[in-house]
């Protein structure tokens, strides 16, 4: 296990949604790319992304290429929790319900 590599987590898009009312900026969903030598099972472990706490928020999407120095395994992750303390958690992002 190489462990989380902050320089390998790159924001590539931030998409606004919702109404811009009363001068309040609309909300955004952030999309990141990430590459690592770690296996998917390691990357989805609670706390793996703790050192990215300042960048991530709930519903951030991470397009990850795991085992990048072997036979790669691409997985889409969604951030499920970013507490002020405690572990950042992610889940494998499956197709939307009913898709």
Structure tokens given for 88: 């950042």
Give the pLDDT of the chain (99 residues) as one tens digit per residue.
579 999 999 999 999 887 666 666 678 999 999 999 999 999 999 999 999 999 999 999 999 999 878 888 999 999 999 999 999 999 998 866 555
| Rounded distance between C-alpha atoms, residue 1 and residue 30, angstroms | 26
Beta strands in the chain (DSSP E): 9-17, 27-35, 61-66, 73-81, 89-92
Q: What angle do CA 10, 94, 92 make, to 5 degrees?
A: 50
CA pair distance 36, 79, nearest whole angstrom: 17
């Amino acid at each position: 296990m190489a462990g989380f590599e902050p320089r390998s987590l790159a924001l590539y898009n931030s998409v606004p949604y919702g109404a811009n009312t009363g001068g309040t900026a609309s909300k955004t969903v952030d999309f990141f790319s990430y590459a690592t030598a770690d296996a998917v099972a390691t990357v989805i472990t609670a706390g793996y992304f703790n050192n990215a706490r300042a960048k991530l928020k709930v519903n951030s999407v991470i397009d990850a290429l795991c085992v990048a120095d072997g036979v790669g395994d691409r997985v889409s992750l969604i951030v499920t929790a970013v507490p002020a303390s405690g572990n950042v958690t992610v889940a494998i992002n499956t197709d939307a319900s009913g898709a």
